[in-house]
Amino acid sequence: MKYSTASLGRIFVVRLEDGDVVHEEIERLARQENIKAAALIALGGADSGSKLIVGPEEGRAARIHPMEAILENVHEAVGVGTIFPDEAGNPTLHMHTACGRQTNTVTGCVRKGVKVWHILEVVIFELTGTRAARRLDEKLGFMLLEP
């Protein structure tokens, strides 16, 4: 385990609107408001055609090859995530969302492009006093949080 400490900063209450791409809008707000690190929760709707990363092709492969799922209809959505800077200092969202319709649920990362259906409410809890950042892990092939 690796860890560090942080303090609570500002809190942002956000409404994403119909057609917004979740990670693009949240990262845009983070740049605009100079949010370096944060935790967030979200709930609302995911539109048809939204793309989720739904896991690796092989669970213990040396290099991770992500799978993708595309929502074929509108889904209810609830998600949690974090924002930390990448190696270039850009705020980067890592958010997993469960998208459900009737008795079926798809859960995955929003990085491929989850589009808002009408509304997605997001509360962002800024974290201050931390140097935590995302760094590329060459072996796995994706960004890992370094607290």
List of domains in the chain: 7-141 (3.30.1330.80)
In the chain, DSSP finds a helix count (H) and a strand count (E) of 1, 10
Structure tokens at 82: 């974090």
Report the candidate in 73, 13, 15, 81 with the shortest Cα–Cα distance to residue 44. 15
- Report which residue type is found at 143: M
> Are 84 and 71 within 8 A, CB to CB?
no
pLDDT tens per residue across span 41-98: 999 999 999 999 998 888 777 677 889 999 999 999 999 999 999 999 999 999 999 9
What percent of the chain clears pLDDT 70, i.e. is strictly above it? 99
Torsion angle defined by CA atoms of residues 42, 47, 49 and 50, in that order, rounded to the nearest 10 degrees? 0
Q: What is the pLDDT of residue 66?
A: 87
pLDDT tens per residue across span 121-135: 999 999 999 999 999
